[in-house]
Amino acid sequence: MLFNLKNILAVGIGGFIGSISRYLISGWIQQISHTGVFPWGTFIVNMLGCLIIGIVGGLSDNFGFFTSTARLLIMVGILGGFTTFSSFGYESFHLFRDKEIVTALIYIVSHFTLGIVMAGIGYNLIALKG
């Protein structure tokens, strides 16, 4: 069963670790970058998350290094808390790897386009209330 207590705890504990790590690492990177314009902290965290999820996924898929619970802890919990962009990158990679080129491109373009549009809608919905 997917939703058992062990899996839920693995994701929750991993999310706790990942979220705190994102906060600390992105803040530190932004501080040492000496720029308030480009969000280097978020960018580096997202790229690092993509690298790590690729490594973990490769080790798991090719060598069976991780149990299903360990995958949930690392990939959904820690990396999900660290950055959901890593999941997006990994899923996009899998679509390309599986030669689902059109699906991959639709997935990528729609995430970026709709993500920006939805953020704008949400922001403007609140701005209209003020």
Domain boundaries in the chain? 5-98, 101-130
- For 23-56, how does the pLDDT look when each residue is reduced to its tens digit (9 = 90+)? 999 999 989 988 777 788 988 999 999 999 999 9
Q: What is the pLDDT of residue 122?
A: 79
**pLDDT at residue number 55:** 93
pTM exceeds 0.95, yes or no: no
Cβ neighbours of 69 (radius 10 Å): 14
Percent of the chain past pLDDT 90, that is, above it, reads 59
Mean pLDDT estimate for the chain: 90
